[in-house]
Chain A
Amino acid sequence: MYQLLLTRKYLTSKVMPLLAMAAVTLSVATVLVTWSVMGGFLNTLLSSGRTLIGDVSIHWPNVGFPYYDDLIERLEADPQVAAAAPLIETFGVVALPDDQVHGVVVKGVDGPSYARVSGFDDSVWWRPIDEPLRKDRETREDPRLGGEGYHAGTDWNALLESGLTLSEPDGEAAVVPGIELSGWNFRRASGVYVPGAPAMSSRDGRTDYLNLFLPDGELTLHLMPLDSRGRGVETVTRTVPVANEFHSGIFEADSRTMFARLDLIQRMMKMDAAEKIVAPASPFVFDPASGELVQAQPEVVGVDPARVTTVLVRAAEGVPVESEAAIAAFRDRVADIYAEFAEAHQGEVPSSMSILVRSWRDQNRSMIAAVEKETGLVLFVFGLVCFTTVFLVLAIFWSMVSEKTKDIGILRSLGGSTAGIAALWLQYGAAVGTVGSGVGLIAAWLVVRNINEIHEWLGQNLGLVIWDPAVYYFFEIPSDMDWSKAATVVVAGVLTCLIGALIPAVRAGAMDPVRALRFE
Chain B
Amino acid sequence: MTETGPIISATNLHKTYKMGRVKVPVLRGLSVSARKGEWVAILGASGSGKSTLLHLLGGLDRPDRGHKDTAIHFEGKPLGKMSRHELDRYRATQVGFVFQFYHLLPELRVLENVTVGAMVRHGLTGFLGAKHKVNRRATELLDAFGLGHRLRHRPGELSGGERQRVAIARALINQPRLLLADEPTGNLDRKTGEAILDSLAALREKLALTVVMVTHDQHVADRADRVIRLADGVVAPEGVPGAENASP
Q: What is the minimal beta-carbon distance from A281 to any residue of chain B, in angstroms? A: 107
**Contact partners of A4 in chain B: CB under 8 A:** 124
Quick check: A2 and B120 within 8 Å, CB to CB?
A: yes
Quick check: B97 and A413 within 8 Å, CB to CB?
A: yes
Q: What is the minimal beta-carbon distance from B9 to any residue of chain A, in angstroms? A: 21
Quick check: B107 and A6 within 8 Å, CB to CB?
A: yes
How far does the alpha carbon of A73 sit from the alpha carbon of B98 in the complex, in Å?
92
Question: CB < 8 Å: which of B120, B123, B127 contacts A414?
Answer: B120
Smallest CB gap from B126: residue in A: A1
Interface centre among A13, A415, A416, A514 (most CB of B within 10 A): A415
**Contact partners of B126 in chain A: CB under 8 A:** 1
**Contact partners of A10 in chain B: CB under 8 A:** 107
Question: CB < 8 Å: which of A1, A409, A413 contacts B91?
Answer: A413
Known: A1-B119, A1-B123, A413-B60. A6 touches B93 (CB 8 A): no
Number of A-B pairs whose CB atoms are under 8 Å? 75
How far does the alpha carbon of A2 sit from the alpha carbon of B126 in the complex, in Å?
12
**Contact partners of A514 in chain B: CB under 8 A:** 55, 60-61
Stretch at the interface among B28-36, B68-76, B81-89: B81-89
Interface residues of B in 24-71 (CB under 8 A from A): 55, 58, 60-61
Q: A229: CB under 8 A from chain B?
A: no
**Contact partners of A415 in chain B: CB under 8 A:** 88-93, 117, 120-121, 174
Known: A1-B127, A415-B91, A417-B85. A13 touches B121 (CB 8 A): no
Quick check: A6 and B124 within 8 Å, CB to CB?
A: no
Q: A40: CB under 8 A from chain B?
A: no
Interface centre among B55, B122, B126, B128 (most CB of A within 10 A): B55
Quick check: B103 and A416 within 8 Å, CB to CB?
A: no
Q: A231: CB under 8 A from chain B?
A: no
Smallest CB gap from A412: residue in B: B60
Q: A418: CB under 8 A from chain B?
A: yes
Q: What is the minimal beta-carbon distance from A403 to any residue of chain B, in angstroms? A: 11
Quick check: B88 and A417 within 8 Å, CB to CB?
A: yes
A-B contact pairs, 26 of them (CB 8 A): A1-B122, A1-B124, A2-B116, A5-B116, A5-B119, A6-B105, A6-B107, A9-B105, A9-B108, A407-B105, A409-B103, A410-B103, A410-B104, A410-B105, A412-B60, A414-B117, A414-B120, A415-B89, A415-B90, A415-B91, A415-B120, A417-B88, A512-B61, A514-B55, A517-B55, A517-B103
Chain A contact residues, CB within 8 Å of chain B: 1-2, 4-6, 9-10, 13, 406-407, 409-418, 420, 512-514, 517
Chain B contact residues, CB within 8 Å of chain A: 55, 58, 60-61, 84-85, 88-93, 97, 99, 103-105, 107-108, 112, 116-117, 119-124, 126-128, 170, 174
**Nearest 8 A-B pairs (CB), nearest first?**
A415-B92, A9-B107, A2-B119, A1-B119, A415-B91, A1-B127, A1-B124, A417-B88
